[in-house]
Chains A and B, each alone.
Chain A
């Protein structure tokens, strides 16, 4: 069964690129446009990995990571933050919230695939 990866990002462009890249690698990708939606979706249907933006309206990435980690099923899944260099403090906060790794935007598709393969091994 293909692993299910969620991309949570308020930018449609980023979601599209993540989704397109990982689908081509054989993963199933689901999209959420903010933390609230992401949390609702992952509570309804299990995922294997979460790739989240940090700066999102409603519930931001940090909060999402925390809430996801609080769900027993997601205690151990890889959570990767997508961040830009300007949010360094947030990157640390995301890490503290339970993120497994981060990818800095802008990223190359192969970079993304590399990280995903590593954490989903």
Chain B
């Protein structure tokens, strides 16, 4: 790889980050146009893109970036306000950058249009390209026109040691043109500290000359090494426009370096701290402002800390690490089991210690993979924005719980299902502004995307205030398509669940976005594969809530080990409500052996022996494990409950991937394999069986 290629590669990687940052920040600004920090970040990203691409002669990028930068500069200085048009242009520019950096064929006409629009924003194409600006500046100094300069001559104390006489230098400056010279005397120390060999003076000179900067420099050329000379061209500050605002005193002081930007900001902020203004107006108490400020401070600290102390590691390395830790946990379990069998007291303590260490290591490694889900959330903002514009709808996406952490694998695999669900909400959920207005709703629709921890699960909800699901329409459609029996009565929940069936779409017309009836079944499958559940709630005319409940991690689950005959199974602990002995008095009636009463409520039983067709006599006393799957409670009947078991998940081979009722397997301490039950699949399977039985019985009755 050549030097240039190497640098280009670095540039591309960096640009990718910057473009992501741009997109994220633009959307922040759209939400809050007054967010100065975000505007600064955006500016910096564009600025860096411009600087770096210049290094590779990517002039198209430099030129576009320059125009964006100029516009943003105006926003920063407060002379231009952020509006929809500006945001659209910056987003369009971002996409052009992205295409240009990737070396795709870029429609330069489109880029030209964006640049033209950016120039219009500046009011009449004032933004000159960088080359032109340089030419203009060069022309002025060579042209010999009179220009004003501020010169600050700050000799080192050791100036005299070189035999220089400052008065002679000032005399030379005076010869260049009309000038005012002011001596700065504040560096002169008290008499006791005064060293007559040192120079304590500095001079501020305002000079009007036609000699140009170089003539001034020539005067001081010999003292360059023992003094600081600042020459500021003031003519740039005078635009020739008599109505243009003169530079503010603060800006002049900053330019001269008498105060720094921070000091100026501090002084400026004294007059416009929002919190203080609000307190002054009596709208909010000082304590509340103080607490808001401290919150901001904490967030900022976290943010900077998070930015600083991070190491990027390819996820393949993490996966390998997790796999190894998984093996270690399994092996540790085996060791403990053997140690327990041997019963050696000397062995017990180190084994226990190593047990603890393994558990800690496992938790730590799993934690490394945890990422805040917010990274995905920000991508959806763009999606909603673009889609709603395309469909002529006004939709806001509000997010909550962006800091909620989930296993990276889960987050990655959630992306597509979430895109699909959000698209559905945008397309089918939220109505057009006119329809909304007629229904007495605000014309602006809202989709809320929330994430929160619920025990060992994370619940992600997509909540829209759209038109809701029409249960009647869904039932009708499902009957038409023969997805359900014509005479079957369905509860609302059951009806909602139908939208996940392939081939069911109630959308009146199919749009580009969604409505082809494919996809929802894919969503369901993906969430199932993540061992998650989907819960739908909807009210016609009011909106729909889709809640995805997902396990925190895929690698390890806490389970309850049970057995039937000699086969072992693991039931995910998070679903278990209680374990019961299946005594006779549990049954509701003496003839109905498939339902038990638990504190008054009936619970259907599901016998693993039947499901897995194990033909051996039941033990005299069976156990039942009551689990909750969504809204359904089921008692799973097994022979014995062995105990808690922390399980490292091994996925089943390709042949068994589609097996119902089983989500994976695990290797036990003694080397045996236990199957992990997929509860949702198990329930689905039994319901299907039952439906088939009922249908068969009906046919038999009719025949």
- Residues of chain A at the chain B interface (Cβ within 8 Å): 10-14, 16-17, 20, 53, 55-58, 60, 62-63, 66, 84-86, 88-89, 92-93, 95-98, 105-107
Contact = CB atoms under 8 A, between A and B. Distances in A.
A13 B11 contact: yes
B262 A63 contact: yes
A97 B154 CA distance: 12
Nearest to A54: B47
Contacts of A92: 230, 232, 255
Contacts of A20: 3, 6-7
B14 A55 contact: no
A96 B14 contact: no
8 contacts: A10-B44, A10-B48, A11-B48, A57-B44, A62-B261, A66-B260, A84-B54, A86-B73
A107 B236 CA distance: 25
Contacts of B57: 106
B245 to A, nearest CB: 15
Nearest to B69: A86
Contact of B52 (A14, A60, A63): A14
Contact of B230 (A13, A17, A95): A95
B254 interface: yes
Contacts of B134: 85
Contacts of A17: 7, 55
B130 interface: yes
Contacts of A95: 230
Query: What is the size category of the interface that chain B forms with chain A?
Result: 35 or more
Contact of B7 (A16, A53, A62, A96): A16
A5 to B, nearest CB: 18
B10 A16 contact: yes
Given A13-B11, A20-B3, A86 B130 contact: yes
Contacts of A86: 47, 50, 66, 69-70, 73, 130
A11 B52 contact: yes
B230 A96 contact: yes
Interface in B260-299: 260-262
B133 interface: yes
Contacts of B54: 84, 105-106
A11 B134 CA distance: 24
A25 to B, nearest CB: 14
Given A66-B260, A86-B66, A86-B130, A11 B14 contact: yes
Contact of B51 (A58, A66, A97, A105): A105
Q: Which of B47, B48, B133, B228 has the most CB of A within 10 A?
A: B48
Contacts of B230: 92, 95-96
Contacts of B236: 88
A98 B66 CA distance: 27
| Interface of chain A, main secondary structure | helix
Contacts of B316: none
Given A20-B7, A55-B47, A93 B255 contact: yes
A85 B133 contact: yes
Contacts of A16: 6-7, 10
B261 A84 contact: no
B304 interface: yes
A107 B261 CA distance: 27
B256 interface: yes
Given A11-B14, A84-B54, A55 B44 contact: yes
Given A11-B14, A86-B69, A96 B255 contact: yes
B255 A84 contact: no
B298 to A, nearest CB: 17
A7 to B, nearest CB: 13
B254 A93 contact: yes
A16 B9 CA distance: 11
Nearest to A24: B3
B78 interface: no
A84 B261 CA distance: 19
A14 B56 CA distance: 11
B55 A58 contact: no
A86 B69 CA distance: 9
A66 B260 CA distance: 9
B617 interface: no
Contacts of B47: 55, 84, 86
A41 to B, nearest CB: 13
B55 A13 contact: yes
B703 interface: no
Contacts of A10: 44, 48
A106 to B, nearest CB: 3
A119 to B, nearest CB: 11
Contacts of B240: none
A92 B151 CA distance: 12
A13 B47 CA distance: 13
Contacts of B73: 86
B255 A89 contact: yes
Contacts of B232: 92
A49 to B, nearest CB: 16
Contact of A93 (B11, B52, B257): B257
A62 B261 CA distance: 9
8 nearest CB pairs, A to B? A96-B257, A106-B54, A13-B52, A13-B11, A12-B14, A106-B55, A11-B48, A105-B51
A26 B290 CA distance: 53
Interface string B48-71: 101110110100001000100110
Given A16-B10, A62-B261, A86-B130, A11 B304 contact: no
Contacts of B3: 20
A15 to B, nearest CB: 9
Contacts of B256: 96
A60 B54 CA distance: 21
A55 B44 CA distance: 7
Q: Which of B7, B52, B70 has the most CB of A within 10 A?
A: B52
Given A55-B48, A57-B41, A57-B44, 13 more contacts: A10-B48, A11-B52, A12-B14, A13-B55, A14-B52, A14-B55, A63-B262, A66-B260, A84-B50, A84-B130, A86-B47, A86-B70, A106-B57
Interface in B8-52: 10-11, 13-14, 41, 44, 47-48, 50-52
A95 B207 CA distance: 19
A84 B51 contact: yes
Contacts of B228: 98
A17 B55 CA distance: 9
